[in-house]
Structure 1
Amino acid sequence: MSKPEADQNPLSLFEFWPGSVFYTPIVLYWIAMGIKYRDLSISTAANPRIETGGLCGESKSSILDMGGATAQSFIAPYVVFRSGKGAERRALEAMERRGLSFPVVIKPDIGCNGTGVKLVHSREQLEAVLPHFPADVDMLAQELITYPVEAGLFYIRHPDEQRGRITSITYKEAPVLTGDGVSTIEELILRDPRMSLVPQIYLPRLAGRERNILAKGEELPLVFAGNHCKGSIFRDGRADTTEALTAQLDAIIKDIPDFYFGRVDVKAASIEDLRRGENFRIIEINGVGSEATHIWDRRTTLWEAYRAQFSHYRQTFLIGAANRARGWKTSGAFSMLHSWRKQRRLLASYPLND
């Protein structure tokens, strides 16, 4: 994985534009395509067995649950439990039945962009974390996969195609501070060429530790959740698309009924293993609402980013239309709006991610 060159800008032009600015052309494109197909929600039929096709409001576990034996052999083990009173007991009992032990990743079953994702190392930490979630929502506890390479693999297959393709690979890196024995964590952030431009992403997550001084050589990862908007650094990895990886991912996704479009987030032992389609585990599968996240590589131009976005979302309309012709129903614009509002309400109630 290549590291940033010193003479390049630490951020791209649009990396941290407000969503209302960056996504406006995409929303307009979506509306135009919806008018063309006479159904604003036709994309939701791209993955017809998932609520809204995975555009918004869908259950993460419901997608993982659909996988057959081949898919399950790659999916990191997880359990689902209900939040609220008694959540700790329910989580521990479910973990015991599944053979899970600490550390685990705790995350809400409905969510996006890593919101509410927590790394929990002990029963005591679990007890402290769970009350910060709203009551009576489904939660996941998932095995922590310690492989060092995290990647997002974007997969597309049309219903009449025998084989899918990988259209995007993104490597995700957590920014790491290295102490000098003198500077505070805040000073190190403000001195970094990239982090100093967006300190509002990192400082609130420190929970009062920003004045702490790291020992010389001590390292502090600032983000756990692999999401760009939460501070992870994304690298374009499309050059590592191989026949072997495509064939393996295709076999996995075909084991999930009627799944045609989305991003598979994985952790791998190495980039070489990933290229060979070996030694990786799936931590999440996202549907129509997912992005080809290589666009957040700082070397990507604005034109390249929009071209990728329009190209990918066009595929959701084409696949959705094909599935509608096969008899599948779309969610309908009002149901789509209801799911979006439900998700937005839940996201606002989750704690800050790790």
Structure 2
Amino acid sequence: MSRFEYWPGWLFYTPVVAWWVLLGLRHGDFSLPSAANPRISTGGLCGESKSSILDQAGPQARAWIAPYTVFRTGAGDVPRALAQLRVAGLELPLVVKPDIGCNGTGVRLVQDEDRLAETLAAFPRDVDLVLQELIAHEGEAGVFYVRRPGEEHGRITSLTHKQAPILVGDGRSTLRDLIMADPRTRLVPHLYMPRLHDRLESVPGAGVAIRLVFAGNHCKGSIFLNGNADITAALTTCIESIVSDIPDFHFGRIDLRYRSLAALRRGEDFRIIEINGVGSEATHIWDASTTLRDAYRVQFEHYREAFEIGAEMRARGHGSSGVLAMLRDWRKQRRLMASYPLND
């Protein structure tokens, strides 16, 4: 059963939640995975600040991270943002994303000052945003890394290539018609049409390519491909050298953009755009060729690993966040995400 990628989230994740509850009962702590990355709020399970994770990077790791600054919305957004960008050595175009959030919600590509003004005004006041350098490399990937406490070396357990769906105009069909004619996009038109509502009746010229989404997230319409065959010793060594410069990071996904697949396999010429903790998943399961059995096997194995790492860190004196704190941060994240504008 490979069409589970189009199932509603509650249906697919019900067995995963049940597995989490079983592991929590076994270990005596439903929030135990939050101890796997003890320097990250809830271990990166939910409600964590994206910038606070990147801020922990030492000089070696920081050299691989796309430069960023954190901006708080409020009065005089645009002049303050432009001044802050100058101080940070950043310039347009750039990527704007919420500091607290997930699944690409609110992520926008800002090309000029008009778009910057429109984007900042679309967010609520007193919200932290990450303004990050646009990495123009076409390749985007999610690399999942796991290392047990005390182990000298960790491992990459998943690599996912992310592609934006691109439709090509024929000079006759509207964008709406193109979306509904494509064998993939017609299955999830609700992921594309709201953000393209003002263009749906336009007729793209023959041969004109239309990129439907910017944010590299499956639930926002990007296409995920299993890249596990591209995990190499060189890439693993490079990722490990980066992660080892982030204190007490044992479990999570590194999202990056790369210039070429050959360079990525060599562990070269890529930039990190985000680092996620225990709330992330091995996203190669969303490749259309993955069977439901394999998807659940991967999910169960990774979360079992998260609990076991958490247990090892607990034995070393690191406490978990606790269920109430975990729920509080989850509710805060949900409330914030509901207030964010549509992503690009």
Post-superposition offset of 1:205: 1.1
1:230 corresponds, among 208, 220, 225, to 220
Where 2:253 maps in the other structure, the secondary structure is strand
Q: Cα RMSD between the aligned structures?
A: 0.9
Q: Superposed, which structure 2 residues align to 1:1-354 within 5 Å? A: 12-354=2-344
**How far apart are the structure 1 equivalents of 2:144 and 2:236?**
10
Instruction: Determine the C-alpha separation between the residues in 2 that align with 1:16 and 1:197.
Output: 8
Say whether the 8 Å CA contact 1:105–1:120 is kept in structure 2: yes
SS across alignment from 2:158:
strand
Greater shift after overlay, 124-133 or 101-110? Answer: 124-133
User: SS of the residue aligned with 1:171?
Assistant: strand
| Contact 1:81-1:87 within 8 A present in 2 as well | no
Give the TM-score of the pair, scaled to structure 2. 0.99
Cross-structure match for 1:5 = none
Where 1:235 maps in the other structure, the secondary structure is: strand
Contact 1:177/1:188, CA 8 A, preserved across alignment:
yes
Q: CA deviation at 1:89?
A: 2.5
Deviation at 1:12, TM superposition (A): 2.9
Q: How far is the alpha carbon of 1:124 from its aligned partner?
A: 1.4
Tell me, in whole angstroms, the C-alpha distance in 2 between the residues paired with 1:37 and 1:190: 48
Q: Are the counterparts in 2 of residues 82 and 90 from structure 1 also a CA contact under 8 Å?
A: no
Following superposition, the deviation at residue 38 of structure 1 comes to 0.7
What's the CA shift for 1:283? 0.3
The amino acid across from 2:257 in the alignment is: K
- Hey, what's the Cα distance between the residues in 2 that align with 1:67 and 1:263? 15
Displacement over 3 Å in runs of 4+: none
**Alpha-carbon shift at residue 331 of structure 1 (Å):** 0.3
Conserved in 2, the CA contact under 8 Å of 1:74 and 1:281? yes
**Please, which moves more after superposition, 45-54 or 202-211?**
202-211
Q: Matches of 1:226 and 1:168 in 2, distance apart?
A: 16
Residue 207 of structure 1 and its aligned partner are, at CA, apart by 2.8
CA shift, 1:84, in A, is: 2.3
Displacement of 1:52 = 0.3
Work out the CA distance in 2 between the residues paired with 1:71 and 1:305.
31
Pairwise CA distance, 1:90? 2.6
One-letter identity of the residue aligned with 2:150 = D
Q: CA deviation at 1:125?
A: 1.0
Q: CA deviation at 1:13?
A: 1.8
Distance in 2 (alpha carbons) for counterparts of 1:88 and 1:113: 26
The 10-residue stretch of structure 1 (79-88 or 257-266) with the greater mean CA deviation from structure 2: 79-88
Corresponding letter in the other structure for 2:106: G
Is the contact made by 1:168 and 1:238 (CA closer than 8 Å) also made in structure 2? yes
Q: Normalization by structure 1: what TM-score?
A: 0.96
One-letter amino acid of the structure 2 residue matched with residue 346 of structure 1: L
Identical aligned pairs, as a percentage?
Answer: 60
**Deviation at residue 131 of structure 1 after TM alignment:** 1.2
Output the CA distance in 2 between the equivalents of 1:87 and 1:72. 27
Alpha-carbon distance in structure 2 between the residues aligned to 1:325 and 1:90: 46
Q: Would you say how many aligned residue pairs link Structure 1 and Structure 2?
A: 344
* Local SS of the residue matching 1:206: coil
Q: Secondary structure at the match of 1:323?
A: helix
3-state SS of paired residue (1:23): helix
SS at 2:194 equivalent: helix
